[in-house]
Structure formats: structure tokens, C-alpha cells
């Protein structure tokens, strides 16, 4: 009898993981709480709770994973390569640059809108005979014993009682599964809200991405398909987000971008609708317990400052599938608790490094003390001028040294 894995959570991580498993001939039952949008029009990518206005900067490693899945040709048309990264601080002298050609790589990664990424992933999942997709269904109970994990779920039409040797919980930062298992989580509220949108500028982006630290928060400006389109992710202090939202504030938002960013992009001419997302760090105390493993934001939700969150989740998923493939080759139990603990242990170094880095950047650049600003900018200059640092940082950012 073929072993079947249950995945709870059909966001970008859940869908990607399901496709990785199917490629290894592992059957998947994938449950998603929200009904997926209608994709009748091939030119549209309607928003879903998991495929919203945000963008993902896919690292080279994540791109490689999608290439292995045979998906990159479909994704490439919606993606833009990052050929250069500039890091600066408003009103300060420090500046650091990473240039793909100098690091002898084709690009540092690719920027793609989550709505398009989600559409491609979902379309591919629906083609896979080994994946059974059940959306619009809410999990109401999760239990396990020595032999199986058991879940109960319900939709408007019916109730489900399912069991599996392995259950993967990829149901987000407020994970029901994590709570049902009694797994605690530490949480740090950054008191920030990310303002997310796309803008049009008078100068072409030339595949250059910028991280601009400002008193308001770290402004990320990344290239999008279309010579003059750029994505904006701007964490601002919680409570100020309404100042930037709504059509009536379009010009106010553009003016603030112009003041913060300067004239490197020319004039900020147009802005799309802005969306806001509260920012916090949520870290599960355990990622594997019995026959259940936490994945994605259920395991670790981190600040988007360096665009590392989704890439870290992709590496987690890839490694887990490697462990499961080895189990399958040996006709062993896919939900073996010792194996899942080994997986968890194998991922801790990479996870802790990324989590600590992102948290340190947010905290370090949030303090406007003049002495700390001097130290930060001296560090940026050192990064720019000391040999050997850039290749090391570039490889980590691309996910190649995980």
C-alpha cells in the first residue's frame, strides 16, 4: 500500500512541498482552509490569502529547486533577475554593493509576485495525479498515537476524518496544528507594519535591488517585470500605516518614497494599491513531535528585511523531502519520529543563522543613535572594501551555503 502524506496548509510552501513529494512518487492529500480563486482568465492572478500583493525574492537555491521540479520555465515569464544589490542608509555615508557579474553568477535570485507564483504552483498541483487537493476545509482536530496522525476537518458540504503516517503542518504563523499539539512558540512583535505595493519610476530598474534604511523603517525596492516597475516593501511603525493606505494618500506615499530614496530611480510616478501586514517573529519551540512536522511559517515566521523567509522554508522542505525519499527507498515509515527529529536537528544551524541575521538587522538599524549610525555605516564601508567578505555574504544570501 502506498504511503500517503497529509499536508495542512496550501500556501506557497504547502504547494511547493506537495510538488516535491509527488516528484518522489509520494502521494499527498493537501488541505487548505481558504477556497482558491478562479483562474479562468490566463492573464490574471487574483489574490488569495497566501498569494497576495507581496513579492518573493527567490534565492538562487530556490530557483534551482523550481528548476528541478520542471517549473522554472512557467515561472520565469513572471520573474525578474536581481543583477545588483545596493545597501544604503538615508542621510549617511555608508554604501555597499553586490554585483552578480563580479561574483561570477548569472543573478543573485529572481523577484516574482506572489500572486503569479501561487497561480503557477496551484495549476501544477491540479495536474498531479498523486496530489489530492481539498480547499475550503477547516481542520478542527489533530491527534496522534504510535501508528498514525489523525485529523478531523469540515467544510460547508461535508466532514472529513483522515489519518496518515505523516502529517506536515504548513498552516501559517497562527498554526492550529501547532497549538493542537501543545507546541509553544516564542513571539516578538516588532511594532512595525509592512506597507506593500508596486510603483512605476521614470528611470528603468536595470535589475537592481535596493535596501534603504530610513528612520521610518527599512525600505526594500526590487525590480519587477516591466522596465520601470518595482516592488515596495516598507516596514513602518505600527499605528502609522493608515497614513499610507487608500487612493487619497497616493501622492503622499509617492512623496515619502521620493524623500527617502532620493533620485536614484528618477521620479516615483505611480503607485498601486497599498496593503499592510503586521510584522512579528514567531518561533516554534519544536518543529517535530511524534508523526507531525511543522513547516513554513508554522515553524518560523521572520521579518522580511532581507527577503529570506520563504527561501529558508524552501530549503527546509527540500531537506525534509530528501529524508522522506530515503525512508521510501528503504520501505520504512515516513512518519518515524526519530527520523523527523534528525531532520529538525539538521536544519537548526541554517535556520538559526538566518533568524539571527534578520532580527539583528532590524534591531540594529532601528536605533537612530548617532554613534550606532556611525558604526553601521563604517560596517557598510568595510563590507564594500575588505576582500573576501562579499563572496561569503553573496553565497549565504543566495542560499548556496545552507
Buried b (16+ CB within 10 A) or exposed e, 288-299: bbbbbbbbbbbb
Phi, psi of 364 (to 5 degrees): -65, -40
Instruction: For residue 88, give the C-alpha cell.
Output: 544604503
Instruction: For residue 82, give the C-alpha cell.
Output: 536581481
Which SS3 state, helix, strand or coil, does residue 136 take? coil
Sign of the dihedral through C-alpha 15, 17, 23, 28: negative
pLDDT score recorded for residue 387: 52
Query: pTM here?
Result: 0.88
Domains of the chain, start order: 4-365 (3.50.50.60)
> What is the C-alpha to C-alpha distance for residues 235 and 256, in angstroms, rounded to an integer?
13
> What is the C-alpha to C-alpha distance for residues 349 and 312, in angstroms, rounded to an integer?
11
pLDDT score recorded for residue 267: 95
Instruction: For residue 374, give the C-alpha cell.
Output: 556611525
Would you give per-residue pLDDT tens digits along the chain (402 residues)? 467 899 999 999 999 999 999 999 999 999 999 998 887 767 777 777 777 778 899 988 999 999 999 999 999 999 999 998 888 776 554 567 778 887 777 888 899 999 999 999 999 999 999 999 999 999 999 999 999 999 999 998 899 999 999 999 999 999 999 999 999 999 999 999 999 999 999 999 999 988 887 777 778 899 999 899 999 998 899 999 999 999 999 999 999 999 988 888 899 999 999 999 999 999 999 999 999 999 999 999 998 877 789 999 999 999 999 999 999 999 999 999 999 999 999 999 999 988 887 887 776 555 454 545 444 445 544 445 555 554 555 454 555 554
Of 292, 297, 367, nearest in space to 335 by CA: 292
Amino acid at each position: 500500500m502506498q504511503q500517503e502524506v497529509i499536508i495542512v496548509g496550501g500556501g506557497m510552501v504547502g504547494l511547493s512541498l506537495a510538488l516535491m513529494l509527488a516528484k518522489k512518487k509520494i502521494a499527498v492529500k493537501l488541505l487548505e482552509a481558504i477556497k482558491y480563486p478562479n483562474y479562468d482568465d490566463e492573464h490574471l492572478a487574483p489574490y488569495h490569502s497566501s498569494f497576495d500583493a507581496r513579492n518573493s525574492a527567490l534565492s538562487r537555491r530556490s530557483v534551482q529547486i523550481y528548476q528541478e521540479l520542471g517549473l522554472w520555465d512557467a515561472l520565469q515569464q513572471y520573474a525578474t533577475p536581481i543583477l545588483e544589490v545596493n545597501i544604503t542608509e538615508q542621510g549617511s555615508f555608508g554604501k555597499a554593493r553586490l554585483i552578480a557579474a563580479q561574483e561570477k553568477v548569472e543573478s543573485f535570485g529572481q523577484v516574482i509576485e506572489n500572486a503569479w507564483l501561487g497561480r503557477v504552483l496551484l495549476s501544477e498541483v491540479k495536474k498531479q495525479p498523486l496530489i489530492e487537493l481539498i480547499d475550503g476545509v477547516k481542520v478542527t482536530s489533530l491527534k496522534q498515537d504510535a501508528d498514525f496522525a489523525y485529523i478531523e476537518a469540515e467544510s460547508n458540504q461535508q466532514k472529513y476524518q483522515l489519518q496518515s503516517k505523516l502529517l506536515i503542518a504548513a498552516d501559517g504563523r497562527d498554526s492550529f496544528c501547532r497549538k493542537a499539539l501543545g507546541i509553544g512558540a516564542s513571539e516578538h512583535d516588532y511594532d512595525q507594519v509592512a506597507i506593500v505595493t508596486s510603483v512605476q519610476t521614470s528611470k528603468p530598474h536595470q535589475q537592481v535591488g535596493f535596501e534603504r534604511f530610513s528612520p521610518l523603517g527599512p525600505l526594500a525596492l526590487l525590480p519587477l517585470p516591466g522596465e520601470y516597475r518595482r516592488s515596495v516593501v516598507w516596514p513602518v511603525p505600527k499605528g502609522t500605516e493608515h497614513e499610507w493606505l487608500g487612493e487619497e494618500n497616493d501622492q503622499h506615499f509617492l512623496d515619502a518614497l521620493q524623500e527617502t530614496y532620493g533620485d536614484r530611480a528618477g521620479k516615483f510616478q505611480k503607485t498601486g494599491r497599498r496593503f499592510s501586514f503586521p510584522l512579528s517573529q514567531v518561533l516554534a519551540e519544536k518543529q517535530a513531535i511524534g508523526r507531525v512536522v511543522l513547516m513554513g511559517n508554522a515553524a518560523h515566521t521572520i521579518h522580511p528585511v532581507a527577503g529570506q523567509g520563504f527561501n529558508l522554508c524552501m530549503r527546509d522542505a527540500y531537506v525534509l523531502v530528501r529524508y522522506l525519499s530515503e525512508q521510501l527507498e528503504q520501505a520504512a515509515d515516513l512518519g518515524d519520529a526519530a527520523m523527523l527529529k534528525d531532520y529538525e536537528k539538521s536544519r537548526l544551524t541554517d535556520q538559526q543563522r538566518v533568524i539571527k541575521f534578520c532580527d539583528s538587522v532590524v534591531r540594529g538599524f532601528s536605533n537612530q543613535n548617532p554613534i550606532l549610525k556611525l558604526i553601521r555605516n563604517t560596517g557598510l564601508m568595510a563590507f564594500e572594501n575588505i576582500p573576501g567578505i562579499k563572496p561569503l555574504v553573496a553565497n549565504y544570501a543566495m542560499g548556496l551555503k545552507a
